[in-house]
Structure 1
Amino acid sequence: MTNELSTEFKYDLVDHSTAEFLKQKEFNMREIVGKAYTELGRELKEAQEKLAGNNHYNGMFEKWLKSIGVKKATAYKLIQRFNLLLVHNVDEQELLEDLPVSLTYEIAKPSSESTESKKQAKEAVLKGEVKTLKEYKELEAKLRKAEEDNKNLSYELSQEKKNRTVVEKVIDNTDYKQIDTLKKELEYKNKKYENLSKQKMILEQQ
């Protein structure tokens, strides 16, 4: 069996009772797989801790992994996943164990909190709002784009604010013949600034 059960089966291809039966089987199997991977993570973490530190066991953990046929990358992903479970309550642990293993691997990485968009996407998983790796990546990408748009808009706002200040200073130090023209320019810049501010507020509310 692979480390993740497929979620691509179209349940509308079968009748309602069969669909419900299969959904229950999928749930049961996810639970079995999730708990098995949790226990594997526990055993690997305990072995790692036993062989850790500045002593004559340096490097032994990875040698031991190789001897039992476990890839180093897989072992560390399982340990990270187990560490993720340790810091959450029982309800959240059960939720995580029912998720596809690939998704729990992703949110267990140290980099899963490296940006605000990743933090928010991870939080959505822990709330039960995101249930597949594909949904997680799509949400993270959407949040990242909103974050970038917000930064760009903030920069544009700061530039407009500077431009507006320059025009105000020129009005204070020029002859009266140019004041009307400059005031119109300032009015235009004020409107542009207000529009940009509204766009920023809308982005922040999404």
Structure 2
Amino acid sequence: MIISQNSNDVYYAYTRGRFWRWDESARVWKESHLLAQKFDKAKTAEKRLTPEAFLTSDEFIPMDDCELPEQMLAALRDAKPCKNAPVDPVEEEPEVPGTKTAQEKPLTTVPDAMRPTFDYSGLTDQTVEDLHFAENEYRHGKQMAERGLVHMGNAIAAAHDALCGTVVAQCDNGKFAKKEDTFRAWCVSIGITKDTAYRLLQVSALLDGSSPRQQKILKELSPTLLYAVAKPSAPAELVEQVKSGDITTNKQYQEALAQIKAEKERADAAETERDKLLGAQNRAAWAESHIQDVEAQRDAALADVQGLTEQNAKLQQSYHDADEGRIAARLQCQKAEGERDRAEERAKNAEDALKKQPITAVIDEEEIDRRAAEKAWGLADARNAELAKDNANLKKQVAALRSRINDDAQADFEQANYCASLMRAAWDNSKASYSRLVGEDLESTFQTICGTLNSIMEEASLLCRQPPDYDGGDRDE
């Protein structure tokens, strides 16, 4: 989409393969058949002419989007072509009296009858003087035709400095400070629109940022090319080529600009392709990684299958061994059942044979001895119980006797006689056990009892022959 303005302040555009004209009264874009016819005639003379190059020729002033109201841009996006095109194209906008063609001066001016009077009240004397000087310089520049464009730009820049300072607005976005409003009102009062004023400011800024040699080259350029180079959106490399004199016409500039745009589009396309390629590479890398993961999972699954196969083989072997064990157990069971049947048969035969034999008495001597021994043991235990009872009674009697003894002699007498009773009681108590001893046990016990009795007899006989105060003393073994 490209929008340009001709010398009559009429806006033209080319988009979606059609030429359009802005109808200010209706605030809509209408299809321009007249401009399409002019383009066809121009293309007849120049076969390679494009609509973009046609709208950026010396007859038109290319416009940036920021220089146009948003309503105009939105209307162009929504514009619809007319259904019934006129047979003969007609001039769409009459020439305004007093204006000059684009070839003479591509400026948008305000007719004298429409110029408001500027109010200088409230300004300082120096500011008023600077504004009048700028107005005179501007009018002087208008009389210099194309070469006066730079002169007019310097005059407008001086007025802007006097009212607003040194900041130059890049385009009219509809948002101006109070000082900018004052500057715009002054521009209209001297006969130029605000768009033209800001283009002249851009031209002045371009000259200020150039060397004397470059300024000389810029002053020789056509107004259309100078306006195009002064735009803030102009590529820096093209601006340098214009300043160096490599580009001298607007056509060369537009061709170079189109080439830069094409290269940028190709670069953007290449960048897009590169991003797509990187995306494809990233996806390929991800796919490769995913494939590796899948292969690893497959290998793990195969390993699991192999392990399961081995486990299955072991289970099958265990099942086979179990079957063989069951078969062997069944054979053993059958063999045992056969042995049992044969044993039962033998037992039955023996029982039948015993039934047929006469009954005879059988004497078991060992059983008789065992029963006799059990009976003897029972009698001995009963006797021991009686002796234990008698011994307890004797102890009670001894205790009673001791309680009745009043002197030592009686106590000694009773104690000595009690010894004989105890010995008799001990023998009676042990006699039953002694009677059951046999063999070496009997012989050993007999020797012990006899030795004890002999020792007692020897000591007793010695005590009978000793003085009364003899207490037994030591004796030879």
Shift of the alpha carbon at 1:93? 0.8
What's the TM-score, normalizing by structure 1? 0.58
* Residue 143 (str. 1) matches residue 260 (str. 2): yes
Q: How does 1:2-41 map to 2 (within 5 A)?
A: 4=103, 33=145, 35-41=147-153
Structure number with the bigger relative contact order (C-alpha 8 A, sep ≥ 6) is 1
Pairs aligned (count): 144
Shift of the alpha carbon at 1:44? 1.2
Equivalent in the alignment of 1:165: 285
Amino acid at match of 1:84: L
SS at match of 1:43: helix
Shift of the alpha carbon at 1:62? 2.2
Shift of the alpha carbon at 1:71? 2.4
Q: Which has more helix, going by share of residues?
A: 1
User: In the aligned structure 2, how far is the partner of 1:66 from the partner of 1:150?
Assistant: 44
* Residue 121 (str. 1) matches residue 245 (str. 2): no
- Relative to 1, partners in 2 of residues 1:149 and 1:158: Cα closer, same or farther, differing over 3 Å? same
2:186 to 47, 57, 64: 64
Amino acid at match of 1:48: H
User: In the aligned structure 2, how far is the partner of 1:65 from the partner of 1:84?
Assistant: 20
Gaps of 5+ in 2: 1-99, 105-143, 166-176, 296-477
The worse-fitting range, judged by mean Cα deviation, of 152-161 and 133-142 is: 152-161
* Residue 44 (str. 1) matches residue 160 (str. 2): no
1:153 to 251, 270, 277: 270
Q: Which has more strand, going by share of residues?
A: 2
2:208 to 76, 80, 86: 86
- Relative to 1, partners in 2 of residues 1:156 and 1:63: Cα closer, same or farther, differing over 3 Å? closer
- Relative to 1, partners in 2 of residues 1:38 and 1:58: Cα closer, same or farther, differing over 3 Å? closer
Gaps of 5+ in 1: 6-31, 113-117, 176-206
What's the TM-score, normalizing by structure 2? 0.27
Shift of the alpha carbon at 1:169? 3.0
Identity %: 27
User: In the aligned structure 1, how far is the partner of 2:289 from the partner of 2:272?
Assistant: 21
* Residue 96 (str. 1) matches residue 208 (str. 2): no
Q: C-alpha root-mean-square deviation of aligned residues, in Å? A: 3.0
User: In the aligned structure 2, how far is the partner of 1:154 from the partner of 1:86?
Assistant: 37
